[in-house]
Structure 1
């Protein structure tokens, strides 16, 4: 019986410790479109985590995005969402999202939530420079 009580007490303490780390947070950023100057050209808009967010203490559980197209009469469009580590200039882990203007995805789950996201628009056809006042949005959920 004593061992059973000890086991229950240990499980309760571990459960309490686990709960303190399961706090879920999020950050959201909006970025205006950069101009695209020629057919086949692209623009990469950055979405930075808050500067107060420490590195490697929170990990992504989902990413929600919303993008808006360029209204220059383009005939082909490719849109990707990408990730880079907090202090890196290397953009990687790109996923094409051309077919869905908004969605919640799990492609980046487990990565450091203090990293940077990018939405890359590439267009062909239409008139240039392609200028848009639209905003794209990224929301990162983390724990």
Structure 2
């Protein structure tokens, strides 16, 4: 087996991008909107059915309300399907994601969402620039 100089860099990017998803999920489970939005770029956008949140403050405010209300006690799972580096500092990520209710072990298939994420490095740190979610069965 041979190795190439590019292989470790790709692995480093992959690991760092995956860390964003671990930390966002950890903050969600804690119901911590500030820690959650710390992984979003200042001008990030979130698009999901019926909602468009523009900027870190709108995202933080919406999540604080949701964590205090309907998302209280839930956790978020993201099964990463693909990470593609568009440039060395921009990654396009596709996930199958779902919100898991308190007491629920795993989400049902119909609760899954197809999510596209754009992440970019800011001063060496990967942040979420854009999030777009759609029901998994939608075409």
Q: TM-score, normalised by structure 1?
A: 0.25
Structure number with the higher helix fraction is: 2
Higher RCO (CA 8 Å, separation ≥ 6 residues)? 1
- Look at both structures and tell me which one has the larger radius of gyration over its CA atoms: 1
Q: TM-score, normalised by structure 2?
A: 0.26
